[in-house]
Amino acid sequence: MNKISLPQVLIPLITIAIICFLWFGPIHIDFIENIIISILIIIANYIEYKGKPFSALGFKREKFTFKNIFVLAPLVALGLFAFYVFVLVPGITKLTGASIDYSSFDQLKGNLPACLIALALVWVSAGFGEEIIFRGYFMRQFVKFFGESKVSILLNIVLLACFFGFMHSYQGITGQLVTGIVGALLALIFYLRKYDLWFVIAVHGFFDTIALICIYFGLG
């Protein structure tokens, strides 16, 4: 374990406890849940890192470039989506014998206003929210405590991928496995990009944008 101070132990533990309460407690706030948790994480990081909450999450100003966000990230998202559609979903479906439950998205088919609202929500709640929570906070905290050895990074990616998949249980067992693998790939990208959170947010956002376009047109 890296040498860390008591506040660097207590603040994350308290923050994660509150996150778990918001996720699994009696109060459910659906779409804005991840937004509230992201704000909580920024506040916690502000306290822990003495007024520098964003750099600790992986928001790097020098990485926020047109090429990275609007060229490379969409291309990576497109490649990841193709892998999802043509390899992951068929392979995992064959393994489990159960299709992914997409029923929660049925109301979006052919419904442009609903899709536009959903587009805004996925960028804020999934693109920014999930990446701040899972990659920016959980993954970075894991590194802080257990270092960056190959074993540590592997455990980091696998454990958080399992949890990421579990959080998508509404899609059924196949959906959980597929989402977990996608989460692992996003985590791997985050690590290989030297914890560039802007990039994985963009990849996640564009991935979900492509998915919404397919849902709107009834593809898949």
**Residue 31 belongs to some domain of the structure:** no
* Cα–Cα distance measured from residue 29 to residue 34, given in angstroms and rounded to the nearest whole number: 9
Residue 46 lies in a domain: no
Residue 102 inside a domain? The answer is yes
Give the global pTM.
Answer: 0.94
Considering the domain boundaries, does residue 29 fall inside one? Answer: no
CB 57 within 8 Å of CB 68: no
For residues 153 and 139, give the distance between their C-alpha atoms in angstroms, rounded to a whole number: 9
Q: Is residue 4 part of a domain?
A: no
What's the domain count of the chain? 1
Helix spans in 84-171 (H):
89-96, 112-121, 140-146, 150-166
Mean pLDDT of successive 10-residue stretches along the chain, which has 220 residues: 83 96 87 93 94 92 96 98 97 96 92 95 95 97 94 97 94 96 98 97 98 91
Residue 1 included in any domain: no
Question: CA angle, 75 as apex, 218 and 168 as ends, to 5°?
Answer: 55
Burial of residue 45 (number of CB atoms within 10 Å: 0-12, 13-18, 19+): buried
Phi, psi of 66 (to 5 degrees): -60, -45
Q: Which domain holds residue 184?
A: 61-216
50 in a domain, yes or no?
no
Is residue 100 within 8 Å of 8, Cβ to Cβ?
Answer: no
Instruction: Please give the pLDDT value at position 220.
Output: 65
**pLDDT of the residue at 154:** 97
Q: How far apart are CA 39 and CA 198, in angstroms?
A: 17
* Angstrom distance (rounded) from CA 101 to CA 13: 34
Give, in order, the Cα–Cα distances in Å from 134 to each of 42, 117, 162, 220. Answer: 13, 24, 11, 28
155 found inside a domain: yes
pLDDT at residue 2, as a whole number: 59
The pLDDT of residue 210 is 97
